[in-house]
Amino acid sequence: MGGQAKNKKKNKPKRKDNRQNRDGGFVDLSPQERMKVRMHEKAKKKTAEKYSVQQLLEKTQEYMDSFDFDMAGLFCQRALDVDSNNLQALDMLGHICSELGDMQKAKSVFIRAIDLSPDVGHSKYMYLGQIHSGQEAVDYYTRGIQVLLSVLEKQETEAGAAGTTDENDEVPSRKDVSVAYCSLAEIYLTDLCMEEGAADKCREFIEKALQYHHDNPEALQLMASYLFSTERNQEGKEYLLKSVGMWLPAQKQSAASSTTEEETQNEIPPYESRITTAKLLIESEEYEMAVDVLEGLLEEDDEVVQVWYLSGWVCYLQWEKAKQHQEREESEALEENEEWKTLQDAARSYLTNAKKLYSKLRCDDQPMLDHAEQLLGELGGEIEEEDEDPAVDDDYEPCSDNEEEVEAPMEH
């Protein structure tokens, strides 16, 4: 009897396990947590009944297009609640997480997409290449390029055939391949520049980028950077000016007419790439063109310290050049003295704003700060607070409040 009673007791946990399964594994959760999970499950069911996955993803795209990535993430997650293996939703969620700065989640989402479909869709590999650095980034970009080339080869083989591509598949172009090769080349200009054969690999990938899209501004600029790094400055300058000529005139014309044509925007390189453009133009002593590039960057985002610093630096160099020219001419013309004053004040204003923003954003680039302070010392010091744009402290809108002072040197 005792043995039978003991056996009955052993059976009780099994009944508990069955109940746990019926409760969806919530037995160890608190009542409040169970309520939240049940409400979530109910919401998932209601969403699935009311909206299709495609409708949810269309709404996700709307919010992404308007840069509301928080709302985009909510709709994208709802789509994944309905279909957890939807590759388009995973790709979009990874992009959203990247934009929101949650790189760890973005990484896990893209890796899941790779596990589900390693040979379809190149963008997940491109994003993972951006998230990683060094050889890991090279491996992801290389795999992405393989997927791209495979799809392009299929497109060329089946050219003119209808219905050869699934509607959910990405439709890449030769420009996508060019951009991917640019990403590879850039790694060998930066992270892996000290690796054996890095220069040769860099040039090889740039040439491939130009092979697939010979007018790609990024590829042309990378070739310029490569040539500058190998001290072939004149050849590098030719590539640089060709690169800038592909997009800067159209951007200036678009800004003057207050229009934002999609085709024009698509040809403009990314923000970080244009910062490099400005640096290379300054190095090439193309100061006026550098000012145009930097002015566009400030209009787009006026809270990037490096852009304010470079704007001050190029105005300083223009100021120095104007002084040297006057000394050679041994002239004391009033007009040239006014030019000096305009450039000097603009340089001081830009560099003062750079220092203020540096402190506000708690940046960590001591050499840049030291150089800005050195330049300010030569220019006569920072702009006094009563003469300075008051917005740089809290509300910070220097472009609008200091517009007259900042725009003055742009004509020179």
pLDDT per position as a tens digit, 370-385: 999 999 999 988 887 6
Nearest to 85 by CA among 41, 116, 48: 116
User: Which of 4-8, 335-339, 344-348, 365-369 shows the lowest per-residue confidence on average (mean pLDDT)?
Assistant: 4-8
How far apart CA 339 and CA 273 sit, in angstroms, is 31
- Per-residue pLDDT tens over the stretch 340-377: 888 999 999 999 999 999 999 999 999 999 999 999 99
Question: Coil, helix or strand for 393?
Answer: coil
| pLDDT attached to residue 331 | 53
Rg (CA), the chain: 29
DSSP state of 409: G
| pLDDT attached to residue 51 | 78
CA torsion sign for 229, 234, 239, 243 is: positive
Distances (CA, A) of 68 to 64, 92, 265, 406: 6, 13, 19, 31
- Higher-confidence residue: 33 or 188? 188
Nearest to 78 by CA among 97, 95, 56: 56
Nearest to 277 by CA among 256, 246, 320: 246
Q: Token pair 């809270």 is at which residue?
A: 303
**∠ Cα 36 40 42 (to 5°):** 115
- Higher-confidence residue: 407 or 304? 304
Contact 169, 223 (CB under 8 A): no
- Whether residue 50 is predicted with pLDDT greater than 60 in this model: the reply is yes
How far apart CA 397 and CA 400 sit, in angstroms, is 6
Please list the alpha-helical segments (H only) found in 164-304: 174-189, 198-212, 217-229, 233-245, 248-256, 262-267, 271-283, 287-300
Contact 72, 60 (CB under 8 A): yes
Contact 254, 237 (CB under 8 A): no
User: Which of 41-45, 68-72, 198-202 shows the lowest per-residue confidence on average (mean pLDDT)?
Assistant: 41-45
- Per-residue pLDDT tens over the stretch 79-92: 999 999 999 999 99
Mean pLDDT of the chain: 81
Confidence of residue 70 (pLDDT cuts 50, 70, 90): very high
Domains of the chain, each with CATH number or no CATH: 38-117 (1.25.40.10), 118-153+171-217 (1.25.40), 274-412 (no CATH)
User: Which of 25-29, 33-37, 99-103 shows the lowest per-residue confidence on average (mean pLDDT)?
Assistant: 25-29
| pLDDT attached to residue 159 | 67
Letter for the amino acid at 409? P
Contact 258, 277 (CB under 8 A): no
Q: Token pair 């992009």 is at which residue?
A: 95
- Whether residue 412 is predicted with pLDDT greater than 70 in this model: the reply is no
| pLDDT attached to residue 32 | 66
- Per-residue pLDDT tens over the stretch 388-398: 443 444 443 43
DSSP state of 165: S
Confidence of residue 35 (pLDDT cuts 50, 70, 90): low
DSSP state of 158: T
Confidence of residue 156 (pLDDT cuts 50, 70, 90): confident
Average pLDDT of 126-152? 95
- Whether residue 149 is predicted with pLDDT greater than 80 in this model: the reply is yes
| pLDDT attached to residue 336 | 52
Retrieve residue 193's tokens: 């520049």
| pLDDT attached to residue 330 | 61
Contacts 24+ apart (CB under 8 A), 241-249: 241/286, 241/289, 243/217, 243/218, 243/277, 244/217, 244/277, 244/281, 244/289, 244/293, 246/215, 246/217, 246/220, 247/217, 248/289, 248/292, 248/293, 248/296
Retrieve residue 358's tokens: 């540096």
Average pLDDT of 229-255? 91
Give the contacts of 183 (CB within 8 A, at least 6 positions apart): 126, 129, 130, 137, 141
How far apart CA 390 and CA 222 sit, in angstroms, is 39
